[in-house]
């Protein structure tokens, strides 16, 4: 089994690239999806989040209001630290379980760990490659504002809560440049996957 990490800045195109990898047969383990699973109602993380942030971050149905929680943590670094400390250990634990399951069911799999904060958190696991989906910050800002229908200030708060994309670029071992059209990105992603398969 080959395990590689996939990362990038917010709205740089990680989901776009992981969809291409998935369609080409890779097994994707997505940290954003797992981060949602571990905070559903009734979980210990859900209780800890309410304890740390108060009922104000709940929707009327009792689920976590992600927009509200995002507005809080992306504008206050000390609050982000609190949330990260609750969510991240659970995400990594569950990811390790998924990796172990995949190793049993599909020992020949190419496994891609899609982790937005891979370089910020430095997961304790050896990766065959650290693949970065790159776009310059100006394009990242434009795509984020468009996709999430948010203003420049809110978008910059999110971008600046992460390591800069240029710093990430200097730490990655493989770069997929997503500043062109989707077909150009697809070609690069398929070439990366084919190299990974060869080992
Ligand atoms: C803050 C929350 C509630 C906002 O939820 P929302 O549905 O609006 O966004 P979503 O989860 O889809 O994340 C979108 C993107 O935001 C960025 N992002 C998310 N959390 C963080 C964070 N703690 N620090 C920096 N960037 C983050 C990532 O690029 C991610 O891909 C949510 O992102 C969350 O619970 N974050 C903490 C867990 C986390 O760090 N997740 C990232 C992968 S482990
Ligand atoms: N090559 C491209 N050309 C034009 N638009 C693109 C391209 N790649 C991605 N996009 C658009 O840019 C936005 C961000 O892409 P995507 O959602 O894949 O990013 P992401 O890194 O997964 O985001 P997040 O960090 O929030 O999870 C989306 O609206 C997507 O449709």
pLDDT per residue as tens digits for the range 167-184 = 999 999 999 999 999 999
Secondary structure (3-state) at 91:
helix
CATH of domain 1-26+109-199: 3.40.50.300
Pair 120, 20: CB distance under 8 Å:
no
Which residue among 5, 20, 143 has the greatest number of ligand 2 atoms within 8 angstroms of its CB, and so is best to mutate?
Answer: 143
Q: What is the pLDDT of residues 40-69, one digit of tens each?
A: 999 999 999 999 999 999 999 999 999 999
Contact 4, 196 (CB under 8 A): yes
Residue 66 CB less than 6 A away from ligand 1: yes
In this predicted model, what pLDDT tens digit does every residue of 116-159 receive, in sequence order?
Answer: 999 999 787 899 999 999 999 999 999 999 999 999 999 999 99
Q: Which atom of ligand 2 has the smallest separation from the CA of 178?
A: 1
For the chain, residues classed under CATH 3.40.50.300 are 1-26+109-199, 33-108
Give the lowest-confidence range in 75-84, 85-94, 123-132, 151-160: 123-132
| pTM, to two decimals | 0.96
Superfamily of domain 33-108: P-loop containing nucleotide triphosphate hydrolases (3.40.50.300)
Rounded to an integer, the average pLDDT of 89-110 is 96
Q: Which ligand is nearest to the CA of 18?
A: 2
């Amino acid at each position: 089994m080959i395990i590689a990490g996939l990362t990038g800045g917010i709205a740089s195109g990680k989901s776009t690239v992981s969809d291409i990898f998935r369609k080409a047969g890779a097994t994707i383990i997505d940290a954003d999806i797992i981060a949602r699973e571990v905070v559903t109602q009734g979980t210990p993380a859900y209780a800890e989040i309410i304890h740390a942030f108060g009922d104000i971050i709940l929707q009327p149905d009792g689920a976590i209001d992600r927009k509200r929680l995002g507005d809080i943590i992306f504008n206050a670094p000390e609050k982000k630290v609190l949330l990260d400390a609750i969510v991240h250990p659970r995400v990594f634990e569950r990811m390790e379980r998924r990796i172990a399951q995949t190793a049993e069911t599909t020992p020949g799999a190419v496994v891609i760990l899609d982790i937005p904060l891979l370089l910020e958190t430095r997961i304790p696991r050896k990766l065959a490659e650290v693949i970065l989906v790159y776009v310059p910050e100006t394009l990242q800002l434009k795509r984020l504002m468009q996709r999430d229908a948010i203003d420049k200030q809110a978008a910059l708060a999110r971008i600046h809560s992460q390591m800069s994309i240029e710093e990430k670029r200097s730490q990655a071992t493989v770069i997929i440049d997503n500043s062109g059209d989707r077909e150009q990105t697809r070609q690069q992603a398929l070439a990366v996957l084919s190299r990974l398969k060869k080992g």
